[in-house]
Amino acid sequence: MVKSDNLHDYRHLAEDIRARARQLGFASLGISTSDPGSSHRRRFLRWLARGHHADMDWMERHSRLRLDPAALWPGTLRIISVRMDYLPAEAADMAANLADPRRAYISRYALGRDYHKVLRGRLAQLARYLATATGGRHRAFTDSAPLLERAFAERSGLGWIGKNTMLIHREAGSWFFLGEICTDAPLPSDPTPSSQERQGHCGSCRACLDICPTGALIGAHQLVAERCVSYLTIEHRGSIPLPLRELIGNRVFGCDDCQLICPWNRYARPSTSADFQPRHGLDRRQLIELFAWSKVEFKQRTEGSPIRRAGYLGWLRNLAVALGNAPAEPAIIAALRQRQHHPSAMVREHVLWALARQLGTAVSA
Ligand code: B12
Ligand code: SF4
């Protein structure tokens, strides 16, 4: 057991944890203090004040905790941040899928097993290892608690904040998840990046800002959630605003455009982890196939998948929008007609919108 006042022991422990994290499948690990720093604090509060979080009220509700991990998990002195790469090696070509309006584009992160489940188990093992070594208090999180994950990861040296707001790593791009352990162990923290390092390596590139289909990136490092396809297709519960529907194209769950275009993602190493490989052929499905899923089929086929978050009605809503954007075809019109009397008013409204587009009639949504 590490003695509470022995810094030498903690240095060794930090190295042990890094090695252990690698064995558990994490690509890298960084340690920061529990202070997110003034620039993250300021930017986060400004984002909330401008209402850029749309109706994700939970972002506002727990804002104090997000800025103070010790309030979230008492005694927290350090945040251990880990990165796990997820770009599925076996998935069909992304750009080709996105360019085919009859096929559904599902975000790469959502093709396989829910990352919360994948990371949680491994982080818990790392936390147990720490507990055995120090006997202290440790708690693992991955997008499961109000914690400014990118801020702590950035401060521990895991990457820089790109103009698309993603954390980007020089050798790995941005196709990765983050997870954390809040600990009371006074581990040596990694050097905080200098202000020059924090500017990152985006330089004059603005590919992500220009490619964003809905104009959600209103400037470098500024994302307006209510326009982001990821928000609209995953988090948003109601009707999708009419002006944005056409812009969503065939993206039925999440959006990857601002990562797909990022030059740093040329260096991303695809993940061979079985957990992240596509299930049920979700990387290549036709829109009408997915639209035909019954509620029972949706539940069965999204078991353990992040897609569950959209809910069955959200899933039908998103697919109806994509079908409305597909080229006019009798098979699509027939599929939409099957659902035009759906009991959900929200689904019906999107189906009628899509039908009107398919039939070339006035949109009466
Ligand atoms: C809310 C949320 C969303 C929202 C809002 C996104 C957003 N940009 O905030 C929506 C639903 C749109 C979303 C979408 C996606 N998300 Co999300 N999301 C989150 C969540 C829960 C909170 C993010 C947050 O705090 N936003 C608040 C705003 C203010 O953050 P921000 O714009 O990034 O600004 C912060 C920093 O970037 C910094 N900052 C801003 N500008 C600058 C400039 C400089 C120079 C510096 C130093 C700092 C700085 O200050 C702010 C405060 O820290 C996190 C998990 C978590 N608990 O942290 C996952 C998380 C950020 N999401 C993730 C992912 C994978 C996605 C998607 C790729 C999913 C998809 N394919 O559809 C997209 C990507 C969209 C995008 N370009 O960000 C990953 C990101 C991993 C990575 N490599 O960065 C996270 C970390 C989840 C995880 N555990 O892995 N997400
Ligand atoms: S995820 Fe898509 S919609 Fe959201 S900011 Fe990136 S490119 Fe724009």
Last residue of one domain, picked from the residues 172, 198, 224: 198
Tell me the DSSP string of 57-120: HHHHHTHHHHH-HHHHSTT--EEEEEEEE--BTTSPPHHHHHH-TTBPEE-GGGSSS-HHHHHH
Shared domain check, 221 and 311: yes
The two three-digit tokens of residue 200, written as one number: 């990152």
Q: What is the CATH number of the domain that holds 57?
A: 3.40.109
Q: Are strands 222-223 and 251-253 parallel, antiparallel or unpaired?
A: unpaired
In a domain? residue 103: no
pLDDT band, very low/low/confident/very high, at 362 (cuts 50, 70, 90): low
pLDDT, position 80: 98
- In this structure, are 26 and 126 located in the same domain? yes
Last residue of a domain, one of 143, 174, 198: 198
- CA-CA distance, 350 to 365, in Å (whole number)? 7
Q: Are residues 77 and 177 in the same domain?
A: yes
Q: Are 221 and 42 in contact (CB under 8 A)?
A: no
Ligand 1, pocket-test mutation among 72, 149, 222, 237, most atoms within 8 A of CB: 149
Same domain, 140 and 17: yes
- Taking residues 70-95, report their average pLDDT: 95
Question: Stretch 51-66: mean pLDDT, rounded?
Answer: 93
* Beta strand spans in 162-208 (E): 167-168, 176-183
Residue 128 sits in the same domain as residue 233: no
The total number of structural domains that make up the chain: 2
Report CA(5)–ligand 2 centroid distance (Å). Answer: 47
Percent of the chain with pLDDT over 90: 91
Domain of residue 252: give its range. 207-359
Q: What 8-state DSSP symbol labels residue 146?
A: S
My answer on whether 284 and 149 are in the same domain is: no
pLDDT value at residue 103: 98
CA distances to 132, 140, 178, 248 from 170, rounded to whole Å, are 34, 26, 16, 30
Ligand 2 near 230 CB (within 6 A): yes
DSSP 184-199: -S-PPPPPPPPHHHHT
Buried b (16+ CB within 10 A) or exposed e, 295-310: eeebeebbeebbbbbb
The distance from CA 118 to its chain's CA centroid, rounded to whole angstroms, is 14
Name the residue of 62, 150, 269 whose CB sits within 8 Å of the most ligand 1 atoms, as the mutation to test its pocket: 150
For residues 138 and 73, what is the distance between their CA atoms, to the nearest angstrom? 8
pLDDT digits (tens, 9 = 90+) for 264-297: 999 899 999 999 999 999 999 999 999 999 999 9
Q: Is residue 236 situated within a structural domain?
A: yes
Q: Looking at the structure, tell me whether residues 151 and 32 fall in a common domain.
A: yes
- The per-residue pLDDT for 155 is 97
Q: Report pLDDT for 217.
A: 98
- Residue 172 pLDDT > 90: yes
How far apart CA 338 and CA 161 sit, in angstroms, is 45
Which tokens is 107 given?
Answer: 């975000």
Q: How confident is the model at residue 218 (pLDDT cuts 50, 70, 90)?
A: very high
Residue-level pLDDT at 182: 96
Q: Reduced to 3 DSSP states, what percent helix, strand and coil does the chain have, rounded to the nearest 5?
A: 45, 15, 40
- pLDDT for res 364: 45
Q: What is the pLDDT of residue 136?
A: 87
> Distance between CA 175 and CA 177 in Å, rounded?
7
Tokens of 148: 């400014």
The verdict on residue 97 lying in a domain is no
Residues 173 and 49 in one domain: yes
Question: Both 348 and 263 in a single domain?
Answer: yes
Say what the pTM is: 0.96
Q: What pLDDT does residue 5 have?
A: 59
Residues taking part in catalysis:
143
- Residues 92-131 pLDDT 10s: 899 999 999 999 999 999 999 999 999 999 999 999 999 9
**85 contacts: CB under 8 Å, gap ≥ 6:** 27, 172, 175, 176, 268, 269, 270, 271
60 and 157: one domain? Answer: yes
Q: Is the CB of 312 under 6 A from ligand 1?
A: no
> Whole-angstrom Cα distance, residue 282 to residue 97?
11
The answer as to whether 181 is a domain residue is: yes
The answer on 259 and 320 residing in a single domain is: yes
Mean pLDDT for the stretch of residues 341-358: 98
**Residue 363: is its pLDDT beyond 60?**
no
Ligand 1: centre distance to CA 148 (Å): 8
The answer to whether 31 and 192 are in contact (CB under 8 A) is no
| Residue 1 placed within a domain | no
Question: Is 214 found in the same domain as 191?
Answer: no
**Cα–Cα distance measured from residue 141 to residue 180, given in angstroms and rounded to the nearest whole number:** 5
Q: Does some domain include residue 102?
A: no
Nearest-angstrom CA–CA distance, 114 and 112: 7
| Mean pLDDT of the chain, nearest integer | 95
- Beta strand 217-219 with 28-33 is unpaired
Tell me the mean pLDDT in the region 176-185: 96
In the listed set 198, 230, 253, which residue is the last one of a domain according to the structure?
198
Residue 334 has pLDDT above 90, yes or no: yes
- pLDDT of 365: 41
DSSP reduced 3-state for 222: strand
**Residue 147 domain-assigned?**
yes
**In this predicted structure, which of 133-147, 153-167, 187-201, 343-357 has the lowest mean pLDDT?**
133-147
Asked, for residue 98, whether it belongs to a domain, the answer is: no
Residue 1 scores a pLDDT above 90? no
Residue 199: pLDDT above 80?
yes
